[in-house]
Structure 1
Amino acid sequence: MEKNISSATPSSSSKLLKFLIPSLFGLLLFIIPIPYGAIIPLQGLSPINIGIGFLAELIKISLGANLINIALAVIVSSAVLSVTSKVVHIKNEFLNSILNVSPFWLICRILGAVFICMSVFGFGPEVIQSEITGQTMLGLLPSLLAIFLVSGFLLPLVVDFGLMDLFGTVISKSMYKLFKVPGRSAVDAISSWLGDGTLGIMITNTQYKQGFYTAKEAAIISVCFSLVSLPFSTVIADQLGFMPLFVPFYGTVCVASLACALLMPRIYPLKGFKNTTFNDITHLKEELVPEGESVFKFGFNKALDRAQEAPSLKTILINGCKTVIDMYLGLLPLVMAWGTLALIVAEFTPFFNIVSLPIVYVLEFLKIPDATAAAPAVLVGFTDMFLPSIMVSGEGISQVTQFIVGCLSITQLIYLTETGAVILKSDIPLNLKDLFIIFLMRTAIALPIITILAKLILA
């Protein structure tokens, strides 16, 4: 069932303020980068960040090592409470929906609890609690704890008060034509690009559940627009020694990512997704701008109407608590379990060396140096984005190959230790098989483009 959002009528000052104040905060928090690191002399702050990223960094700095203990308590509690829910009926409908899960998800939560206990307390098999498996995952959890906490409560500022309606209307025509998605998805992309890839997925999932995206649109946005953040991209560039060339390095990533975003919606598997809404709720399509009316004025009026329908502060706080509890109890154990298992496979088994043998011939065909050493790094990015750069950062690997692998690992976008787990936990209808196929398709599209640009830049 489809229903267009009606055009807005001229607004009163109260309607204007209800849109402007939350939306300005939304811009500052999710879109506009500010040099917080230069303004506030606090060690650990990024030089430039969006507000959400800044708040998350403040939490990490303030709580420090305590965040690991919090993650331990959350993941163990998730496993214990989920097991308890199988024998004790939980009357609260919300908690019951989170804790009373299927046997598969229950096993994942128990594994996550076992793995984090081994990693924190230093017991058990080395393959689980070593520096390159369990300890690596412990390093990721504080960032997730912080970003889920602040975004869970602050997401309504960009999705419920008209900001996305204004953005979406202004660029809707070009976004549909180029990428087969609504214009409001640009906000998802910007939040990911400047903040964190999981932010974009959380925004997309919220919009999908509210009826603004269809299943196909949500799938496209989550795997084409939930970009790796700019700050984290600098970490990859620095690891490989390309900070002096960061502009062409990241420019290469942008060109390859744009090519993927243009092609992926038009080919398998994304092309086959249906344009149905979440639970068949009303589809809130972006209206076409009436002939002769200003695009900005039309979008502005829609934004004012949207702000009038925004939830109350009490509702926002209640929903924020539910979102954070859901992400903490439901997602963090999966990140710990799947991430650790993926790193074990990557670091302690020959799996990626074996499955990457055909990739050697592809790299040799593209005349990429050190093809045998680089081939496993091309595929291992599906487990964790940082692993490929580590694998080719040693001496003896060609600079061209390091540049290609570094750019490719960022462009591949989907990795199980974070974004992949978030997508699978969300309501977006993508499964593990879909994600792996999309990972391979993005690799196939991006690799030739990155190779050509790398050879031109480093010639």
Structure 2
Amino acid sequence: MTNYMDKSQQSILEKDAVDSDSLSEKQWRASLWKFLLFSAFGIALFIIPFQWDGKVTILLGVLTDTLQALLGGYVVYVVMALVTTSCVGALAVKVLNPNLREGSLAKNLFDVNWFWLVARVLGMVFVWMIFLQVGPEFIISRNTGGVIFEDLIPILIPLFLPFLTDFGLMEFLGTLSSKLFVKLFNLPGRSAVDAMSSWFGAASIGLLVTMQQYDKSYYSQREAAIIATTFSVTSIAFTYVVAKTIGVDNNFVYFYLTIALTGFIAAVIMPRIPPLSLKPDTYHSGKSMLDEETPAHYSTYQWAVNRAVTRAQSMPGLGKVFKSSTKNLFDIYFGLIPVVFAIGTIGLGLAEYTPVFNWLATPLVPLLEWLQIPEATKAAPAMIMGFADMYLPALVGKSIESEMTRFIVGAASITQIIYMSEVGALILKSNIKLNILELFGIFILRTLISLVVITSVAHLLY
């Protein structure tokens, strides 16, 4: 997502290949504890699910809920200020063309191309129209702009800290699982952390990890594209919300296991077919910074610890870590939120007020009928609507009478992954070269794969 790499990050990349054997015993122990403590905190913050206030969540979710509770009704004004500042700043830079220092925060936040400038302008116009309730229902309706304004504002990361990525955990897990991930998914082993952070945390968290790793040249363009579109699954907590909305929460265990099975099968297939298989193995900096080969005199576990300790030792002080995290946070808020308003509102408006999705879903109806899915005509548009927003199929599909069909629609909406109100917008905003047509193609392919698997399970259950 970010277009910069500060000097401390460059230094980290340069020193990442240093062997921990060159460290003194005191340095080695200190770096080992740094790896263990910060990685443990990252796992606790982003991955480990637990019961809290009657729902399954993660520590980051609790922190986010606490922040939102503290902001209360003021969150609306915070969002409006962010979107307005994002647009006005970008317009000022485009019109006045000031001499901004390369790599500065102002340049990275406001110096955007024309496409993203238009998205920011639309985002600002939409947010004020929705707030003032002035304009066409297509924009200001509770079911279109209202969903974005009240339900999907991505205040998901009060502070992103790189404990999962920059203190050795990715090197450790990547070394241990590299052979498995290479064979199954044709990916580096360190992508295991991306998968876990999305699956147990949130899709946006996993995407942020992927984008940072691509910007640092740990992933190639092909690898980053695969990870972003294959492992950015929504959290367990939101999966339950979808199940409850569409009326299959009484079968949630089977619902979730079906999603897990479908996600695994799709992850095996998708990297091996176009468009993902055609992406080049080129790197953001021009060369790979990743080395997952195990030297002959190390066991896999020993080499995993060695690489983790080396990575932890190379990290700067916490002050620089917080500074870098703050830059990432600003980039998310100023860069992503206006795009979510622009693309998400238009997508939901098309779904709510036009027959576009009915037309797009027409070729899907015969397939659903062939799979013996009841109420195929109603189910098809609901599935296509998932491209606009993940929650939309559940809202539309809850009126379907057949529980089996609702089960299929709900599970498919989770495994489709690509939805433009958040994940799609975030991918388009990143440096990963995936355009909207490629994202739609990936969405359709994932839908077809998911339908076959989910329908097979649904016929066994119902």
| TM-score between both structures, scaled by the size of structure 2 | 0.92
Superposed displacement of residue 354, structure 1: 1.3
1:266 alignment partner AA? R
Partner in structure 2 of residue 25 of structure 1 = 41
1:166 alignment partner AA? F
Secondary structure of the residue aligned to 2:34 is helix
Partner in structure 2 of residue 406 of structure 1 = 410
Contact between 1:208 and 1:278, CA under 8 Å: does it hold in 2?
yes
Partner in structure 2 of residue 5 of structure 1 = 17
**2: CA distance, partners of 1:97 / 1:28:** 31
Contact between 2:220 and 2:281, CA under 8 Å: does it hold in 1?
yes
- Note if 1:129 corresponds to 2:140: yes
**2: CA distance, partners of 1:400 / 1:287:** 45
Contact between 1:75 and 1:109, CA under 8 Å: does it hold in 2?
yes
1:119 alignment partner AA? I
Which is further off, 199-208 or 46-55?
46-55
Superposed displacement of residue 31, structure 1: 2.0
Partner in structure 1 of residue 178 of structure 2 = 172
Q: 364, 370, 386: which is aligned to 2:369?
A: 364
Deviations 1:157-178 (A, max 9, x none): 1111101111111111101110
Partner in structure 2 of residue 76 of structure 1 = 84
**2: CA distance, partners of 1:179 / 1:71:** 38
Q: 94, 98, 102: which is aligned to 2:113?
A: 102
**2: CA distance, partners of 1:187 / 1:355:** 36
1:214 alignment partner AA? S
- Note if 1:182 corresponds to 2:188: yes
Matches within 5 A, 1:26-425: 26-35=42-51, 37=52, 45=53, 47-93=55-101, 94=104, 95-142=106-153, 144-145=154-155, 147-151=156-160, 154=161, 156-280=162-286, 282-291=287-296, 293-394=298-399, 397-425=401-429
Q: 1:266 to 1:100 in 2, by over 3 A?
A: same
**2: CA distance, partners of 1:82 / 1:58:** 31
Contact between 1:160 and 1:311, CA under 8 Å: does it hold in 2?
no
Q: 1:46 to 1:312 in 2, by over 3 A?
A: farther
Gaps of 5+ in 1: 38-44
Superposed displacement of residue 4, structure 1: 9.0
Secondary structure of the residue aligned to 2:289 is strand
| TM-score between both structures, scaled by the size of structure 1 | 0.93
**2: CA distance, partners of 1:129 / 1:456:** 43
Superposed displacement of residue 23, structure 1: 1.4
Contact between 1:172 and 1:182, CA under 8 Å: does it hold in 2?
yes
Secondary structure of the residue aligned to 2:298 is coil
Superposed displacement of residue 100, structure 1: 2.5
Contact between 1:53 and 1:196, CA under 8 Å: does it hold in 2?
no
Secondary structure of the residue aligned to 2:374 is coil
Partner in structure 1 of residue 11 of structure 2 = none
Q: 1:356 to 1:63 in 2, by over 3 A?
A: same
Partner in structure 1 of residue 9 of structure 2 = none
Superposed displacement of residue 243, structure 1: 1.7
Deviations 1:102-124 (A, max 9, x none): 22221111110010111112111
1:339 alignment partner AA? G
Partner in structure 2 of residue 41 of structure 1 = none
Secondary structure of the residue aligned to 1:311 is coil
Contact between 2:247 and 2:406, CA under 8 Å: does it hold in 1?
no
Identity %: 40
Secondary structure of the residue aligned to 1:48 is strand
1:357 alignment partner AA? T
Contact between 1:25 and 1:157, CA under 8 Å: does it hold in 2?
yes
**1: CA distance, partners of 2:314 / 2:401:** 57
Deviations 1:60-91 (A, max 9, x none): 22212211211111001111111111233444
Contact between 1:169 and 1:286, CA under 8 Å: does it hold in 2?
no
1:439 alignment partner AA? F
Partner in structure 1 of residue 3 of structure 2 = none
Superposed displacement of residue 241, structure 1: 1.9
**1: CA distance, partners of 2:58 / 2:49:** 4
Contact between 1:378 and 1:408, CA under 8 Å: does it hold in 2?
yes
**2: CA distance, partners of 1:54 / 1:136:** 22
Contact between 2:16 and 2:314, CA under 8 Å: does it hold in 1?
no
Contact between 1:356 and 1:375, CA under 8 Å: does it hold in 2?
yes
Which is further off, 381-390 or 97-106?
97-106
2:401 alignment partner AA? I
**2: CA distance, partners of 1:161 / 1:32:** 18
Secondary structure of the residue aligned to 1:204 is helix
Superposed displacement of residue 207, structure 1: 0.8
**1: CA distance, partners of 2:359 / 2:421:** 22
**2: CA distance, partners of 1:238 / 1:315:** 43
1:24 alignment partner AA? A
**1: CA distance, partners of 2:15 / 2:318:** 27
2:246 alignment partner AA? L
**2: CA distance, partners of 1:384 / 1:263:** 24
Contact between 2:91 and 2:117, CA under 8 Å: does it hold in 1?
yes
2:381 alignment partner AA? P
Q: 1:207 to 1:109 in 2, by over 3 A?
A: same
Deviations 1:409-434 (A, max 9, x none): 00000100011111111111211111
Deviations 1:244-272 (A, max 9, x none): 21110011111111111000000000000
Aligned residues: 442
**2: CA distance, partners of 1:175 / 1:189:** 11
2:35 alignment partner AA? F
Partner in structure 2 of residue 40 of structure 1 = none
**2: CA distance, partners of 1:4 / 1:175:** 22
Q: 1:375 to 1:428 in 2, by over 3 A?
A: same
